[in-house]
Copies of this chain bind each other. A is one copy, B any other.
Amino acid sequence: MIIVKVGGSLGIDYDAISRDIAELWQVGQKLILVHGGSAETNRISEALGKPPKFVTSPSGYTSRFTDKETMEIFQMVYCGKMNKGIVERLQILDVNAVGLSGLDGRIFEGKHKDKVRSVENGKTKILRGDHTGKVEKINTQLINLLLDNGYLPVLTPPAASYKGIAINVDGDRAAAALAIALKADSLLLLSNVPGLLRDFPDEASLIKRIPANDVENYLEFAKDRMKKKVLGAAEAVAGGVGRVIFADARIENPLKNALNGKGTVVS
């Protein structure tokens, strides 16, 4: 089993990703795709006159502040445009894809955090009305039902809270939780960088290998969104996933290259 997580940043080649998935799927490789949609959510939010708002936690993690209206835009982009765009690409390539959010059948479930701590101008504020959380539980029954019957799941945030409310969750860590729950051999975290860089943004400074027992020591090299990928990787290998690979989604054959070890391999 391979879990492929593809980010939602600019430059990602979804056609190339879909072609690689189709080739692997058609030779019998069990596979699940998890995707994002952040850049497009920002664009649509701006266009609708509701510019995105990001908060930085005291520990330095950046996340989207997701009030109810932002959640609706988030769902439009992640579950509508991005998810169905990928499902269509796969269906055209004869892969019987089924696109679902974490809300559907509560595939991704977790606690709803209504409050978030935000550092602004050196001061920490509490913001309320956030629809956010972290995936704690995976509904493997629905996923296995789909896989066992020949459907390729294409999954996306939001998740469901324990009360059934839509919550924004980090896609990389959701993919990591999924990989653990399904005892995946490989978790690929694809984005618009070639892997973890020792000296961001110098791509020549790519870190090729990280020992599984030492992932957290590499957190210092991770900038911005890469931080959650490293955190997700640490969780995945600690949870029994064979290997995690950070790799480039802007190139031809992104999955094959990643599976061949091109990128940063955590194992």
**Which residues of A line the B interface, CB within 8 A?**
44, 47-49, 72, 75-81, 83-85, 87-88, 90-94, 96-101, 103-106, 141-142, 145, 149, 151, 158, 160, 163-166
Known: A76-B76, A164-B92. A84 touches B101 (CB 8 A): yes
Q: List the number of copies, as a whole number.
A: 2
Give every chain B residue within 8 A of A44 (Cβ-Cβ): 48, 76
Give every chain B residue within 8 A of A76 (Cβ-Cβ): 44, 76-77, 80-81
Q: 17 pairs across A/B with beta carbons < 8 Å?
A: A44-B76, A47-B47, A47-B49, A48-B48, A72-B81, A76-B76, A76-B77, A79-B80, A79-B84, A80-B80, A84-B101, A87-B103, A96-B106, A97-B105, A98-B100, A99-B101, A145-B149
Give every chain B residue within 8 A of A88 (Cβ-Cβ): 103, 160, 164-166
Q: Report yes or no: A91 in contact with B79, Cβ–Cβ below 8 A.
A: no
Q: Report yes or no: A105 in contact with B151, Cβ–Cβ below 8 A.
A: yes
Within the assembled complex, what's the spacing in Å between the Cα atoms of A93 and B163? 9
Give every chain B residue within 8 A of A96 (Cβ-Cβ): 105-106
Within the assembled complex, what's the spacing in Å between the Cα atoms of A105 and B147? 12
Known: A99-B101, A105-B96. A81 touches B80 (CB 8 A): yes
The interface centre, meaning the residue of A88, A93, A141 with most chain B CB atoms within 10 A of its CB, is A88
Q: Which residue of B lies closest to A72 (CB)?
A: B81
Q: Report yes or no: A151 in contact with B142, Cβ–Cβ below 8 A.
A: yes
Within the assembled complex, what's the spacing in Å between the Cα atoms of A90 and B83? 21
Q: Report yes or no: A92 in contact with B149, Cβ–Cβ below 8 A.
A: no
Sample of 5 further A-B pairs with CB below 8 A, known A84-B103, A98-B104: A75-B81, A75-B85, A76-B76, A87-B103, A94-B164
Within the assembled complex, what's the spacing in Å between the Cα atoms of A100 and B101? 9
Give every chain B residue within 8 A of A141 (Cβ-Cβ): 149
Q: Report yes or no: A87 in contact with B104, Cβ–Cβ below 8 A.
A: yes
Within the assembled complex, what's the spacing in Å between the Cα atoms of A247 and B199? 64
Within the assembled complex, what's the spacing in Å between the Cα atoms of A72 and B104? 21
Q: Report yes or no: B84 in contact with A166, Cβ–Cβ below 8 A.
A: yes
Give every chain B residue within 8 A of A105 (Cβ-Cβ): 96-98, 151
Partner of A48 from B47, B78, B92 at Cβ < 8 Å: B47
Within the assembled complex, what's the spacing in Å between the Cα atoms of A142 and B146? 8
The interface centre, meaning the residue of A79, A85, A104 with most chain B CB atoms within 10 A of its CB, is A104
Q: Report yes or no: B91 in contact with A83, Cβ–Cβ below 8 A.
A: no
Shortest beta-carbon distance from A8 to chain B in Å? 14
